Amino acid sequence: MVSKDLPFTKEDILKIMEKYPTPFHIYDEKAIRENARRMKSAFKDVPGFKEFFAVKALPNPFILKILKEEGFGADCSSLPELILAEKAGMTGDDIMFSSNDTPAEEFVKAKELGGFINLDDISHIPYLEKYAGLPEIVCFRYNPGPLKEGNAIIGKPEEAKYGFTREQMFEGYRILRDKGVKRFGMHTMVASNELNPDYFVETARILFELIVEISKELGIHFEFVNLGGGIGIPYRPEQEPVSLEAVAKGVKEAYDATITANGLAPLKVYLECGRVITGPYGYLISQVRHLKSTYKDYVGLDSCMANLMRPGMYGAYHHITVLGKEKKAPTHKYDVTGSLCENNDKFAIDRMLPEIEIGDILAIHDTGAHGHAMGFNYNGKLRSAELLLREDRSVVQIRRAETIEDYFATLDFEQLKSFR
Ligand SMILES: *Cc1c(COP(=O)(O)O)cnc(C)c1O
């Protein structure tokens, strides 16, 4: 069981709404910082441990600045994400660049920032060399194929588009060695939102064993291993959070049994998690606009799947609290919907909640990762603001809401006038 208590009351939110109308996402800075410290403490005995926050989960430079202060780097996968990290003060070994189907200018920027470049395919070796030049340290993303089971979000490894095959790993590092590269890393990412700690330990063991094999066969030395992201969070109240201590302990044991036992220490161990870092500490706040009773009872919010598309995209569960009714029994069954013209625009289906009235304010939980970030403008819907609840309980807007002018910014209405 995990507590779904909120870090704010209805009164707090009403006060915030005087300045910032709903809908908005609000992030809890204190909880994010405490969580970052918890992760560092859990992994303190894992050699060279460092977390590179997956920027795509919450691409806001204010959040990145907080995480940088907590000692994290940034895992970027596009040019804008590299620029965001740079703006937040992250360069050099604070940057991991894990992309796929990568355009040349992104390799150029990643190299210019001095970040770690993680290649998704063997054909990217000559491509990187041609457009950016080989960096001093190069990392490959491993796809273990049938050797490892996947999970729902990322799919079976052998059907996933990412990474090198096992044979390509040997061949790729050999090519780099022969080109004179001296420093190496290895990466994989085979699951997303996975709640079983053994899954990550098993992933680490697979990489450590491959590092032992490749180091021996090619006579090269690996500097770091990046175990990827994918640590899940308890979206449902009855789920348990992943014990980071258990993951760290298992990783350390596997490290000692493979890396240390084969004289390959020190090897730094990195993670590039997004969801588990900020996911539980964000909330989409939205007000009830309409109630509708047809074959079912519907609660219509002033937000929609443009603000949070996980339920529509994956059928994902997000817990909902009706502010001021936290203690009331969930006596009514509702579909909680948005206003987009797609029937999967539902935040919850057949959800038991206290009786809801127009004007009620709902907090949709766990939107701190892959929430606002996945927003889009289909149906002319505008993305909401992002707010930060500071440690001193003050609130700052860290991204304003989009306006209709933003939506029209790429159209030229002058050109339209003379168009026939
Ligand atoms: C999405 C992604 C992550 C972060 O995944 P989480 O599930 O948020 O931890 C890390 N690395 C890569 C390459 C990704 O694509």
DSSP 347-372: EEEEEEES---TT-EEEE---TTTTG
Residue 392 has pLDDT above 60, yes or no: yes
For 11, the token pair is: 């009164």
First to last CA, the chain: 63
Residue 193 CA to ligand 1 centre (angstroms) = 9
φ, ψ for residue 269, nearest 5 deg:
-110, 120
Residue 300 CA to ligand 1 centre (angstroms) = 32
Largest Cα–Cα distance of the chain, in whole Å? 75
Pick the atom of ligand 1 nearest to 276's CA: 9
One domain, residues 229 and 284? no
One domain, residues 123 and 226? yes
For 35, the token pair is: 């969580």
**Mutation test of ligand 1: which of 52, 192, 370 has the most ligand atoms closer than 8 Å to its C-beta?**
192
For residue 296, count CB atoms less than 10 angstroms from its CB and return exposed for 0-12, middle for 13-18, buried for 19 or more. Answer: exposed
For 340-358, what is each residue's pLDDT tens digit?
999 999 999 999 999 999 9
- Mean pLDDT for 177-184 is 96
In the chain, the number of structural domains is 2
Residue 327 CA to ligand 1 centre (angstroms) = 36
- Mean pLDDT for 371-376 is 97
Pick the atom of ligand 1 nearest to 279's CA: 8
One domain, residues 163 and 206? yes
Would residue 8 count as lying in a domain?
no
Distances (CA, A) of 391 to 27, 31, 32, 36, 388: 11, 9, 10, 14, 9
One domain, residues 273 and 284? no
146 — pLDDT class (breaks 50, 70, 90): confident
Residue 231 CA to ligand 1 centre (angstroms) = 9
Residue 110 CA to ligand 1 centre (angstroms) = 18
Residue 192 CA to ligand 1 centre (angstroms) = 7
* Amino acid in the structure at residue 213: E
One domain, residues 266 and 324? no
Q: Atom 10, ligand 1: which residue's CA is nearest?
A: 229
Pick the atom of ligand 1 nearest to 187's CA: 13
One domain, residues 187 and 204? yes
One domain, residues 231 and 322? no
φ, ψ for residue 183, nearest 5 deg:
-120, 135
**Mutation test of ligand 1: which of 95, 273, 278 has the most ligand atoms closer than 8 Å to its C-beta?**
273
What local confidence, expressed as pLDDT, does residue 384 receive?
98
Which pTM was predicted? 0.96
Ligand 1 pocket by C-beta < 6 Å: which residues? 54, 56-57, 75, 98, 189, 192-193, 228-231, 272-275, 369
Pick the atom of ligand 1 nearest to 231's CA: 9
Q: Which residues are catalytic?
A: 341
- Mean pLDDT for 383-387 is 98
Q: Atom 13, ligand 1: which residue's CA is nearest?
A: 98
**In 189-228, at which residue ranges do the beta strands (DSSP E only) sit?**
222-226
How far apart (Å, rounded) are the C-alpha atoms in residues 89 and 86? 5
How far apart (Å, rounded) are the C-alpha atoms in residues 335 and 343? 11
Pick the atom of ligand 1 nearest to 370's CA: 8
- Compute and round to an integer the Cα radius of gyration of the chain: 23
Would residue 22 count as lying in a domain?
no
Q: Which of 234, 252, 277 is the last residue of a domain?
A: 277
**Mutation test of ligand 1: which of 161, 272, 374 has the most ligand atoms closer than 8 Å to its C-beta?**
272
What local confidence, expressed as pLDDT, does residue 150 receive?
61
357: CATH: 2.40.37.10
Nearest alpha carbon to residue 307 among 22, 81, 19, 62:
22
One domain, residues 209 and 92? yes
149 — pLDDT class (breaks 50, 70, 90): low
Q: Which of 277, 292, 309 is the last residue of a domain?
A: 277
What local confidence, expressed as pLDDT, does residue 154 receive?
55
Distances (CA, A) of 319 to 125, 329, 336: 44, 15, 11
Quote the mean pLDDT of the chain. 96
- Mean pLDDT for 298-324 is 97
Residue 65 has pLDDT above 60, yes or no: yes
Query: Quick one: what percent of the chain has pLDDT higher than 90?
Result: 95
For 123-135, what is each residue's pLDDT tens digit?
999 999 999 999 9
One domain, residues 298 and 239? no
Would residue 212 count as lying in a domain?
yes
Residue 19 CA to ligand 1 centre (angstroms) = 34
**Mutation test of ligand 1: which of 63, 77, 118 has the most ligand atoms closer than 8 Å to its C-beta?**
77
One domain, residues 402 and 342? yes
- Mean pLDDT for 151-174 is 86
One domain, residues 320 and 233? no
For 179, the token pair is: 């080109």
Residue 224 has pLDDT above 80, yes or no: yes
Residue 190 has pLDDT above 90, yes or no: no
More confident residue, 187 or 160: 187
Provide the residue range defining the domain that includes 159.
29-277
Give the position of tokens 């049994």: 257
What local confidence, expressed as pLDDT, does residue 156 receive?
79
For 245-291, what is each residue's pLDDT tens digit?
999 999 999 999 999 999 999 999 999 999 999 999 999 999 999 99
For 239, the token pair is: 């789920």
Residue 152 has pLDDT above 80, yes or no: no
- Mean pLDDT for 144-149 is 79
For 46, the token pair is: 């894992």
